[in-house]
């Protein structure tokens, strides 16, 4: 059973690498399953064993790509700076990862399929923020059902900022982007501090 899992992972990695190469040449709309399979040296039957179609494959590739982003452990005790450190670490890790895989994300952000990227990344960031808020006992209780609203609001803002950054060639440097994000995280943390003071 373990061998099968390793083979499946390797097959998916080969297909994903093939997609990355093809996306540097043409848009996702113009890429066929046959081209992906030929580039990956994988039979089409194997592709369809794992995926319904190329859109299902794209979603899986995005999820796998974004799951490679590492997040720091949650700090057990709240201090005025702990939420800021956690959020800044998250944003830094995401931006660094996207910069390292920029070709892939730029290609997708120009396609109508960028909605998958937006949704998957937004959900991931919102979950991260919600977990951080809920680990802080006083904060989670005070905010109640507003935790999801706040988490999704900030996740949407972060993803919008990242999308602008990767699609606008003259946007700004990584340092400028992180500096801007830090100011916004400070605003969020100042809001939280009203509840835990």
Query: Domain coordinates of the chain in residue numbers?
Result: 2-62, 69-196
Q: Are 177 and 161 in contact (CB under 8 A)?
A: yes
Average pLDDT across the chain, whole number: 81
DSSP letter at 85 equals: H
Residue 197's Cβ-count burial label (10 Å; 0-12, 13-18, 19+) is: exposed
Q: Are 39 and 25 in contact (CB under 8 A)?
A: no
- Write down the pLDDT at residue 1: 44
Model confidence over 14-70: pLDDT tens digits? Answer: 998 898 888 878 888 888 999 999 999 999 999 999 999 988 898 888 777 777 776
pTM of the model: 0.72
C-alpha atoms less than 13 angstroms from C-alpha of 8 in its C-beta half-sphere: 11
Is the domain spanning 2-62 CATH 3.30.310.50? The answer is no
Residue 131's Cβ-count burial label (10 Å; 0-12, 13-18, 19+) is: middle
C-alpha 85/C-alpha 107 separation (Å) is 31
């Amino acid at each position: 059973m373990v061998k099968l899992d390793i083979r499946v992972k390797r097959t998916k990695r080969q297909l994903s690498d093939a997609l990355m190469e093809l996306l540097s040449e043409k848009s996702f709309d113009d890429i066929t399953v046959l081209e992906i399979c030929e580039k990956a040296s994988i039979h089409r039957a194997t592709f369809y064993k794992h995926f319904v179609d190329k859109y299902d494959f794209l979603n899986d590739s995005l999820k796998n790509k974004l799951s490679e982003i590492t997040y720091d452990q949650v700090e057990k005790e709240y201090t005025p700076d702990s939420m800021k450190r956690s959020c800044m670490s998250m944003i830094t890790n995401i931006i660094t990862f996207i910069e390292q895989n920029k070709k892939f994300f730029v290609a997708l952000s120009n396609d109508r399929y960028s909605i998958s990227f937006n949704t998957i990344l937004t959900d991931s960031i919102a979950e991260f923020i919600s977990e951080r808020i809920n680990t802080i006992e006083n904060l989670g209780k005070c905010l109640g059902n507003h935790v999801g609203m706040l988490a999704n609001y900030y996740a949407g803002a972060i993803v919008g900022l990242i999308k602008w950054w990767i699609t606008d060639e003259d946007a700004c440097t990584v340092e400028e982007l992180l500096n801007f994000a830090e100011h916004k995280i400070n605003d969020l943390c100042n809001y939280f501090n009203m509840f835990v003071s």
